[in-house]
């Protein structure tokens, strides 16, 4: 019987687990679902068991697995949530409630889908295990999707690929993300799926064979360097992820180097870098392909070293190097956190009532929770669209010149960045420098870009910005500003404790155009763009110096100007001697 297998599996990774509760949950679900069948014609109980089994693959505790066994009881049987609470306690009842749909009568169609998601997200914000149960539920439903009518298949597959897979990615549960994507793929894009499989199937096999030849080479070197405890895996890229990558590289398979990669897992960070050095010693690295996600983890917490080298037979090959802990976190993400925290104090933990996961580890969930509170008023469709962009889209890390990391959705613009730093910085954002170069405010930022924002207190948001920005926060701030009657900028609060001055201590002066006829030699150059600083309004009669701004060319000050003196102290290398051309 299946349940025995499940119990054995749990015992294997958690000898102290409370198997009694799991067993009770199983028999309760068996009784509750008696006489119910899946669309496949099988007895209903195979579904909760499959879900529990997937949860056990994530090495979750007996509490979560029991909730997985009971997850459809409150929604689909005569037993109510209160019955589950009486029988299994508040914690399990909370988890079951989190994944149960709302009563069907209240909403219809898309609205019901969105309301159900909203309910799930709120529960998930309180306890991330709700999401893990939902993921496993969805994986098994996708595995058995062929038994459902066609239009239902597509809707479920689409929701899985657009919402659940990105969510799993954000929570770092790599194994689940790949499953959700690859199981949905044939239903969302059937033709593309077939085409891709036909095209790459042989390639995959060929690559795996090749990596099996590379493996002993690397093992030999590891041995020489006395690295003993390691694990080497071949990892093949998921089909859906490959499909998306190909779309990015004009469909050229030859440009995808990580079709299959070798993964080397070792004890500690130090050894990771040592292994990287060993690989680079044997094979020549491809410039620009080395990624240090240990020093700079991905926004979802992913840590690893990636490098691409010209390997055996001159084939370009990717290696991923990480510690065992990083590996388990990359595969299980938030589930790994649960595993670690539950392993530490399993007994104490069981006694606890409904508990939130260790908060410091998932700040993103906290952000999402506060986002949901702030945007309660949005209409359903808009709510979902905004939520997708703000939280489920791929994320990029963008850096301030000081090295602070700002987490933004893909394709976010410098204006989004400015608002993410501070509302006031966004409101008066006049220009942006990306990696040292002037950039348009509407351009898309890329992961790892260093962005500095140039502000001007006279600059204000315009209607156009609403079409440019990606984040809901920026949108709301712009809308709020546009609704406000415009005040002279002096009254907006540019006093002593202005946040811009605090955050961006580079002093900016609004400048007015110079008289066209007058020419000025700045540091010996006559072709530089310049403007007269408003603070001292120099004329051709004055002795002047130039301060090289980031955005507006040079700003010209009288030599006697107090602001110039301050600038000289702060940025001596940006001050240049000037001469009026006669």
Choose the binding region for Mn ion from 66-74, 202-210, 257-265, 416-424 (rule: CB under 5 A).
66-74
- Least distance in Å: CB of 141 to Mn ion? 7
- Least distance in Å: CB of 71 to Mn ion? 6
Choose the binding region for Mn ion from 27-35, 70-78, 185-193, 433-441 (rule: CB under 5 A).
70-78
Nearer to Mn ion, 99 or 398 (CB): 99
**Other Cβ atoms within 10 Å of 524 Cβ, number:** 10
Report the distance separating Cα 574 and Cα 19, nearest Å.
70
Choose the binding region for Mn ion from 31-39, 72-80, 162-170, 227-235 (rule: CB under 5 A).
72-80
Nearer to Mn ion, 51 or 309 (CB): 51
What angle is formed at CA 312 by the lines to CA 308 and CA 314, rounded to 5 degrees?
Answer: 75
SS3 511: strand
Question: Considering Cα of 269, then 272, then 278, then 281, what sign does the dihedral take?
Answer: negative
Report the distance separating Cα 213 and Cα 191, nearest Å.
34
Instruction: Fill in the per-residue mask, 547 to 576: x = in contact with Mn ion (CB under 5 A), - = not in contact.
Output: ------------------------------
| Sites for Mn ion among residues 250-279 (CB under 5 A) | none
SS3 578: strand
Instruction: Fill in the per-residue mask, 233 to 252: x = in contact with Mn ion (CB under 5 A), - = not in contact.
Output: --------------------
Does the protein bind Mn ion through residue 182 (CB under 5 A)?
Answer: no
Rounded alpha-carbon distances, angstroms, from residue 21 to 156, 259, 333: 31, 43, 25
- Least distance in Å: CB of 122 to Mn ion? 19
Q: Residues 97, 127, 137, 456: which binds Mn ion (CB under 5 A)?
A: 137
Angle between helices 334-344 and 129-143 (to 10 degrees): 130
**How many residues interact with Mn ion (rule CB under 5 A)?**
2
Which residues partner with 578 through β-bridges? 522
Q: Residues 10, 28, 64, 72: which binds Mn ion (CB under 5 A)?
A: 72
Nearer to Mn ion, 76 or 115 (CB): 76
Report the distance separating Cα 68 and Cα 91, nearest Å.
12
Residues noted as catalytic: 75-76
Nearer to Mn ion, 137 or 258 (CB): 137
Which residues partner with 556 through β-bridges? 532, 546
Report the distance separating Cα 279 and Cα 273, nearest Å.
10
DSSP H stretches of helix in 189-238: 190-224
DSSP H stretches of helix in 333-400: 334-344, 346-351, 363-374, 380-387
Residue nearest to Mn ion (CB): 137
Choose the binding region for Mn ion from 8-16, 71-79, 125-133, 460-468 (rule: CB under 5 A).
71-79
Q: Are 398 and 406 in contact (CB under 8 A)?
A: yes
- Least distance in Å: CB of 30 to Mn ion? 15
- Least distance in Å: CB of 51 to Mn ion? 6
Which residues contribute to the site for Mn ion (CB under 5 A)?
A: 72, 137
């Amino acid at each position: 019987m299946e349940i025995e297998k499940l119990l054995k599996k749990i015992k294997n990774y958690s000898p102290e687990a409370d198997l009694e509760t799991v067993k009770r949950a199983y028999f309760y679900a068996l009784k509750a679902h008696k006489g119910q069948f899946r669309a496949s014609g099988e007895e209903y109980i195979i579904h909760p068991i499959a879900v529990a089994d997937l949860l056990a693959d994530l090495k979750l505790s007996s509490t979560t697995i029991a909730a997985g066994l009971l997850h459809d009881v409150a929604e689909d049987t005569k037993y109510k949530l209160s019955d589950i609470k009486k029988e299994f306690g508040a914690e399990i009842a909370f988890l079951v409630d989190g994944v149960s749909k709302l009563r069907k009568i209240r909403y219809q169609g898309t609205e019901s889908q969105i309301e159900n998601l909203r309910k799930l997200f709120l529960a998930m914000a309180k306890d991330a295990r709700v999401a893990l149960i939902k993921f496993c539920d969805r994986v098994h439903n996708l595995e058995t999707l062929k038994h459902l009518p066609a239009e239902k298949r597509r809707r479920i597959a689409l929701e899985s690929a657009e919402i659940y897979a990105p969510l799993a990615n954000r929570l770092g549960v790599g194994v689940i993300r790949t499953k959700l994507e690859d199981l949905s793929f044939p239903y969302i894009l059937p033709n593309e799926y077939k085409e891709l499989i036909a095209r790459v199937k042989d390639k995959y096999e060929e690559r795996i064979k090749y990596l099996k030849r590379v493996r002993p080479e690397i093992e030999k070197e590891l041995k020489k360097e006395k690295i003993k405890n390691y694990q080497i895996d071949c990892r093949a890229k998921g089909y859906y992820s490959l499909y998306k990558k190909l779309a990015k590289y004009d469909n050229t398979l030859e440009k995808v180097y990580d079709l299959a990669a070798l993964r080397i897992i070792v004890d500690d960070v130090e050894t990771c870098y040592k292994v990287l050095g060993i690989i680079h010693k044997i094979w020549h690295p491809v410039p620009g392909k080395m990624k240090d996600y240990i020093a700079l983890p991905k926004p979802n917490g992913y840590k690893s070293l990636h490098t691409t080298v010209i390997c055996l037979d001159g084939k370009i090959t990717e290696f991923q190097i990480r510690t065992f802990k990083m590996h388990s976190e990359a595969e299980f993400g938030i589930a790994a956190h649960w595993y670690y925290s539950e392993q530490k104090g399993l007994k104490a933990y069981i006694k606890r009532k409904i508990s939130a996961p260790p908060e410091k580890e998932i700040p993103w969930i906290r952000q999402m929770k506060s986002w949901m509170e702030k945007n309660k008023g949005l209409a359903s469709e808009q709510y979902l669209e905004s939520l997708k962009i703000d939280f489920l889209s791929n994320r990029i890390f963008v850096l301030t010149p000081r090295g602070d990391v700002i987490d933004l959705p893909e394709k976010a613009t410098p204006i989004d960045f400015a608002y993410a730093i501070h509302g006031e910085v966004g409101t008066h954002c006049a220009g942006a420098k990306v990696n040292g170069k002037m950039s348009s405010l509407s351009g898309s930022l890329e992961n790892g870009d260093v962005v500095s924002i140039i502000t001007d207190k006279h600059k204000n948001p315009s209607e156009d910005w609403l079409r440019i920005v990606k984040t809901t926060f920026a949108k709301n701030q712009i809308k709020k500003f546009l609704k406000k009657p415009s005040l002279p900028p002096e009254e907006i609060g540019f006093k002593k404790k202005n946040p811009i001055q605090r955050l961006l201590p580079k002093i900016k002066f609004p400048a007015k155009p110079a008289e066209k006829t007058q020419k000025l030699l700045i540091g010996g150059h006559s072709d530089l763009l310049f403007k007269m600083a408003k603070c001292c309004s120099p004329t051709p009669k004055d002795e002047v110096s130039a301060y090289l701004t980031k955005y507006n060319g040079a700003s010209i000050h009288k030599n006697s100007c107090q602001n110039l003196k301050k600038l000289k102290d702060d940025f001596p290398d940006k001050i240049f001697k000037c001469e009026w051309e006669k």
